[in-house]
Structure 1
Amino acid sequence: MSDPIVIERSAEDPAVQIIRFNRPEKKNAFTRDMYRTMTDALNAANSDAGIRVTVFFGTEGSFSAGNDIGDFLAAAMGGSVGLELIDFLYALVNAEKPLVSGVDGLAIGIGTTLNLHCDLTIASDRSQFRTPFVDLALVPEAGSSLIAPRIMGHQRAFAMLAAGEAFTAEDARQAGLIWKVTSPEEVEKQALAAAAKLAAKPPEALKIARDLVRGPREEVIARIDEEARHFTARLRSDEARAAFEAFMRR
């Protein structure tokens, strides 16, 4: 079996680290082990002068279907919630180097909210962004309840995070969630080209500029923690257990 997360360097520019979601049979749904691997890669990049940019990719037609529902169901049935997801979110917020994503196809749940932490996102015109948190009796995560309204305005953020409406790639571009829309064949090429341009810039100046644009991290971390408290409580609710069981019966 192939690794569900592949960590590699770009063949065109070794200063670009690639984190590839590689579980296509499950549409790249994230497991606790996958979060752990991604967290380690992001944290390692902070202290590796040879890495100047990290890029996220999925597989053809699937960026990520979000968190593995089996893990949610296990938590709903009384199992451990685990800290792997929270550790990954902290690693996103605390990433010292630019983050780029190339999205093709499904981007569900954290497959959408992950991009709120990226500095540049290029998506294919067949991509779909959706966060069915409330449909699963859950609440938004990844600091999305703070970041999305700032980027999109209240109504678009509410449509995405509470109403669970699907956004096309063009919807997402107009909302400010992503930077560019291109063809499926061009997503990786353009994302890697954008990453290489960033990697070629003076790193200290780029870091300062990025920090100024992104603003203080403490507020985002505090919102992630607040969301996580609600998320954990909802995971163990009767509503959530019923929703997960119904999902698994599909």
Structure 2
Amino acid sequence: MSEPVIIERYAENSAVQVIRFNRPEKKNAFTRDMYRTMTDALNAANSDNGVRVTVFFGTEGCFSAGNDIGDFLAAAMGGSMGQDLIDFLYALAKAEKPLVSGVDGLAIGIGTTLNLHCDLTIASDRSQFRTPFVDLALVPEAGSSLIVPRIMGQQRAFAMLAAGEAFSAEDARLAGLIWKVTTAEQVEHQTLSAAAKLAAKPPEALKIARDLIRGPREEIIARIDEEARHFAARLKTAEARAAFEAFMRR
């Protein structure tokens, strides 16, 4: 059985680390084990001088359908989501080197909010970004309730995070969520090319520029924690359990 997350180096530039979601039979929905693997890769990159950029990819036609609903349902039934998701969000927010993503197809839930922490995102023209948190009786996560209004404005942020409206790739580009739209055939090539260009730049100057652009991380971390408290409480509610069970019956 293939690994659900593949960590590799870009063959043409070993300074580019690639994190590839590889669970296509489940639309690359993230499990706790997947979060741990991705967190370890991000944290290792911070202290590895051989890694200058990390790239995220899904599989053809699907970036990620978000968190595995089975894990949500287990938590609603009295279990726990554990710390794995939060650790991954911390790793994203605290990443010391550029993050780049190439999105093709579905980007749902954290499949959308992950890109908020990326410095460059290139998406195929068939991509769709959607965060159905409220539809699942949950709340936004990954610091999205802070970041999205800043980049999109209040009404588009509400449409995405509360109303759960789908954004096309072009909608997402115009809203500032992603950088560029291309074809499905070109998304991986263009993403790796952009990552390689970043990896070739003077690393110390790039780090300073990136830190200045992104600003202090403390506010983002605080919002991740605040969202997580609400999220954990919502997982235990009857309406969340009913929403998860309805989703599983589809």
Deviation of 1:217 (Å): 0.1
Match of 1:178, SS state, is coil
Deviation of 1:81 (Å): 1.9
Deviations 1:186-232 (A, max 9, x none): 00000000000000000000000000000110000000000000000
Aligned counterpart, 1:107: 107
Aligned length: 250
Aligned counterpart, 2:223: 223
Aligned counterpart, 2:170: 170
Deviation of 1:80 (Å): 1.5
Aligned counterpart, 2:30: 30
Aligned counterpart, 1:241: 241
For 1:12 and 1:93, how far apart are their aligned partners in 2? 27
Give percent identity, aligned residues only.
88
AA matched with 1:175: A
TM-score scaled by structure 1? 1.00
Match of 2:101, SS state, is strand
For 2:96 and 2:119, how far apart are their aligned partners in 1? 12
Deviation of 1:158 (Å): 0.5
RMSD over aligned CA atoms reads: 0.3
Aligned counterpart, 2:210: 210
For 1:189 and 1:196, how far apart are their aligned partners in 2? 11
Aligned counterpart, 2:149: 149
Where do 5+ consecutive residues of structure 1 fail to align?
none
Deviations 1:75-96 (A, max 9, x none): 0000122110000000001100
Deviations 1:80-137 (A, max 9, x none): 2211000000000110000000000000000000000000000000000000000000
For 2:81 and 2:200, how far apart are their aligned partners in 1? 41
Query: Does residue 1:8 correspond to 2:8, yes or no?
Result: yes
Where do 5+ consecutive residues of structure 2 fail to align?
none
AA matched with 2:133: F
Match of 2:13, SS state, is coil
Aligned counterpart, 1:64: 64
AA matched with 2:117: H
For 2:42 and 2:159, how far apart are their aligned partners in 1? 30
Aligned counterpart, 2:161: 161
TM-score scaled by structure 2? 1.00
Moved segments of 4+, more than 4 Å = none
